Amino acid sequence: MSILTKIKTSSIFFLVIILMVLNSCVMYYNISEISNNFKKNITQINNLVIKTKSNYKIKSNTYKELSVFIIDRNLEPFKSISQEMKRFESSFKAIKDKKKEVLALKKRFEKITNGKTKIKSNQQEWDEIKNIKKQMSQKGNEINTAIKKYTNYSNQIGNNIKNSGFQPMDKIEFINQIEKNQESLKSSVQEIFKNIDLYKAKIDNANNNKFINDSIYNFKLVVLNDMNLLIKKVEKSSKLLFFYKKKFIDKTKNMQKIWIGENTYANQALNEIKNQIEIIKGIKNEFNILSVKLNQ
């Protein structure tokens, strides 16, 4: 046998040995270690989602509470707040969807490794597990990205509401504010009703005792009639004051907190009440002018 032949034979022999060694070099992996790593990652993801969910609940409830008091939802700034809220809700849904995808990967892993304590590196299942690990890592990164996006929208919706001019207010405090506005009128209205009766009695007495002639008496009766017309207006405004207050209380039944600002039912109720108060104040001034005429 030639030297060249011997070299070739030896090379083939060593190559076969190397291949046999490589084929026999199989790695074993503990399922529990891989499972624990998965659980650790999922726990971290769950903690992040829980914090996000808590924040979402607060912002979502704030928006819902505000929206109840908005008259026209197509007016700014509420319109922009609603548009931002849709983006905010969409970003939160993206986080939940990513979490579902992670849990689906976990179920796949559990199905593959069911009943197993170890797995060989040359088994088909190991390739599937490696693929799951890779996807799990990707999903983790995707969730982090989704949370950053969500945080931006969360801050934006918070700033939009804060800078909108809408403000929360305790309902009892608001009603007290309404009653305070009404309180100043009570004595004025009572005075008007009291004076009209006194004036009528005084004029009738003067006429009966011939202290005034028929011409003056008739003039004063005309003035009294004008006063009675003003009283009817006061009665109408007083009823409207009660109506607007009751309407607001009924609309906010079982609510402890309300929202005030332009384009809210609270502001509408307050403006309607203030309007009737101004009407009554104006009537009082007219009544005083007629009183002067009556005493001439």
Per-residue model confidence as pLDDT tens digits over 199-216: 888 888 888 888 888 888
pLDDT for 122: 85
Tokens of 270: 């307050």
Whole-number Cα distances in Å, 119 to 55, 220, 265: 42, 111, 67
Percent of the chain past pLDDT 70, that is, above it, reads 91
Q: Are 103 and 42 in contact (CB under 8 A)?
A: yes
Q: Are 45 and 137 in contact (CB under 8 A)?
A: no
Q: Which residue has the higher pLDDT, 294 or 159?
A: 159
Query: Collapsing DSSP states into helix, strand and coil, what is residue 258?
Result: strand
Quote the pTM value. 0.75
Confidence bin at 25 (pLDDT 50/70/90): low
Q: How far apart are CA 216 and CA 126, in angstroms?
A: 114
Q: How far apart are CA 43 and CA 45, in angstroms?
A: 5
Q: How far apart are CA 226 and CA 290, in angstroms?
A: 8
pLDDT for 92: 97
Q: How far apart are CA 253 and CA 261, in angstroms?
A: 19
**Strands 118-120 vs 28-30: parallel, antiparallel or unpaired:** antiparallel
Confidence bin at 235 (pLDDT 50/70/90): confident
**Average pLDDT of the residues in 139-143:** 92
Q: How far apart are CA 143 and CA 146, in angstroms?
A: 5
Tens digits of per-residue pLDDT, 68-95? Answer: 999 999 999 999 999 999 999 999 999 9
Q: How far apart are CA 138 and CA 162, in angstroms?
A: 36
Tens digits of per-residue pLDDT, 35-72? Answer: 898 889 889 989 999 999 999 999 999 999 999 999 99
Query: Collapsing DSSP states into helix, strand and coil, what is residue 120?
Result: strand
pLDDT for 135: 94
Start-to-end CA distance of the chain, whole Å, equals 154
State the residue for tokens 């070099």. Answer: 25
263: left (phi over 0), alpha (psi -120 to 50) or beta: left
pLDDT for 191: 73
